[in-house]
Amino acid sequence: MNTDDLLDEVDGPARYIGCEHNIVEKSPDTVAIRFALCYPDVYEVGTSHVGSQILYHILNNRDDTYCERFFHPWVDAAALLRGSDMLLGSLETHTPLSRFHIAGFTLQHELNYPAVLSMLQLGGVRLRASERLPHEPLVIAGGPCAVNPEPMAPFFDAIVIGDGEEVLHEIMDLLGQSHLPFDAPADRAQFLSALDNINGVYVPSLWPLASTAGYLVAAPRADGRPTVRRRIVEDLDAAEFPSAPIVPYRETVHDRAQLEISRGCTHGCRFCQAGMTYRPTRERSVETLRQQAGDIIASTGYDEISLTSLSCTDYTRIEELMEFLHGDLGDQRVAVGLPSIRVDAFDVALAQRAQRIKKSGLTFAPEAGSPQMRDRINKNVTEDDLTGAVTAALEAGWHRIKLYFMIGLPEETDEDVAAIADTVKRLLEIGRRCLGRKSGKLQFNLSVALFIPKPHTPFQWVAQDTAAEFQRKRALLQDHLGSHKQIRLRCHDPQQAVVEAFLSRADRTAADVIQAAYRAGAILDPWNEHFDFTRWQAAAAQHGIDLHQRAAAAIPLDAQLPWDHIDVGVSRDFLLEELEKSRAGILTPDCRLSACHSCGLQRLVTECPAGAAR
């Protein structure tokens, strides 16, 4: 929003006013570059995103740059903008998106893709990179979904693959050497050609395409460049991190301070894209984290700080860190939280340290109900691990436990689905025995995701269950669970899962489908109340695509894939080996606890921590 006149007409006006505590204020006239940091979801979601907070801090630490924030308006505000002559403006200065030199989008989730187009149009920017005039903003992207950039490639001038802290400075340095705004198409093209030489930057317009086996894939370049290599910040301790994050006016999805303690995971869960594409594991030192935590609490006033990581309990000095943080922040009554604890690493003393100030629920993620299925997905968790962790938690005073499971996994049987229910009911009985008269307080919140095959994972080639099969398995699970007031079940929408699977493994032709779905009204589709599968079906059908058939199709193991030219570090040979191990039910141990498994990462980093003693 860029006017106060409409605030009385919208829900949640605090989403649009800016002026929050710790906002960065600069005079636009004093900087050479204006950067629009765009998150394609609403304020309360985007404000909680740690990656965006880091980029906002990095960019505004530059004297030549003013970084301002954009989020997608809620449906009422978006409708008012479309019905007026106003353009989507930044929270800091309400400047329209079209007047910035560069706009950077975070691709966090496939269902956010239409919101990118919506924000561009609301901000007065042409949707496709090939259609933009020289003076319009350069539109770039990054984030988890960028490891398969093809579905959104036509909308971006460039896409960053991997960690952004270092490469973003290189992009801004290059932009600072340019005459802005660009006056002619040749100026813009010359800049993109220079951008193409930065390691970790993908410029889609400079990569030729070829059709093979029904997919558009990258064809050989004239200069012989085979891939775009993921950027990796190897020294996380030296990486910039915001000491004074913005404090929002309204409650957000993560309404607390957040401290990134490590990045990467080497457990090797075969369904997990982040576990493959964020390798290697890197840690910040206890000393750095203590300083950052103290600065963040002093500058924000939060009464809770959450330690963020793909696997917090893998942090090598976690007990020491927790003790120091409680010692440093305990007098201020600041709670220190671990958002999720691995079942096989659960320690009652550690959990009690984490919730010494405020005791909330605990979250465990066994992912599968049967031992054989956990072996197939390489979730190295035993029945004894799970029952032992839950028993210890109950005996230590926890009454609310959240459990994450997944259905639709490769090679899954009905017995595997029923095993989820059997496991939860067994845990319920353990809880009733442990708590006795207090068992009425017991609550198991069961969150069940639907498997989606993701690029750069061992399961990237496998078929997804159909929506009908997902619904059947969900009903089977509910039937086996029965009716228990102390068990609450929440399950992913099967139709959303079909769209996600299509977009996750799509090639560049999917851009036409995304644009058609957006034109039909698909915008805030991660929100269940706004998702409409018929829009996506119709958009895909317009371009000869059957969503159900595409999502449920296995990909030949020898096929060239649309994302093969994106080198995240994990090799194709390693992924194929892991797929075969999955089918045989063979575990691959964490390489930090055993020998190196030759995943391929050594090509991208100077030092790989595989096999390091702990």
pLDDT digits (tens, 9 = 90+) for 120-172: 999 999 999 999 999 999 999 999 999 999 999 999 999 999 999 999 999 99
Sheet strands (E) in 342-500: 362-367, 400-407, 443-450, 487-491
318-to-187, 333, 592 alpha-carbon distances in Å: 51, 20, 16
Question: CA 376, 143, 218: angle at the middle one, nearest 5?
Answer: 80
Give per-residue pLDDT as tens, 443-461: 999 999 999 999 999 999 9
Give the pair of three-digit tokens for residue 602.
């050594």
State the pLDDT confidence band at 591, using cuts at 50, 70 and 90: confident
Give the whole-angstrom CA distance, residue 46 versus residue 429.
Answer: 40
pLDDT of residue 352: 72
Position 610 pLDDT exceeds 60: no
Domains of the chain: 4-225 (3.40.50), 241-492+569-584 (3.80.30.20)
Eight-state DSSP code of residue 231: B
**Chain centroid, CA 239 distance in Å:** 20
Give the pair of three-digit tokens for residue 370.
């049967």
Give pTM, 2 decimals. Answer: 0.95
Phi-psi bin for 482: left (phi > 0), alpha (psi -120 to 50), beta?
left
Q: Return the SS3 of 371.
A: helix
pLDDT of residue 372: 96
Helical H runs in 61-178?
A: 75-82, 113-122, 165-176
Give per-residue pLDDT as tens, 171-199: 999 999 998 899 999 999 999 999 999 99
Position 553 pLDDT exceeds 70: yes
Cβ neighbours for 189, distance < 8 A, ≥ 6 positions apart: none
Give the whole-angstrom CA distance, residue 129 versus residue 574.
Answer: 35
Give the whole-angstrom CA distance, residue 307 versus residue 304.
Answer: 10
69-to-244, 421, 522 alpha-carbon distances in Å: 16, 44, 23
Position 1 pLDDT exceeds 90: no
Position 612 pLDDT exceeds 60: no
Rg (CA), the chain: 24
Give the pair of three-digit tokens for residue 85.
């002559």
Q: Determine contact, residues 59/172, Cβ cutoff 8 Å.
A: yes
Per the DSSP assignment, residues forming a β-bridge with 490 are: 447
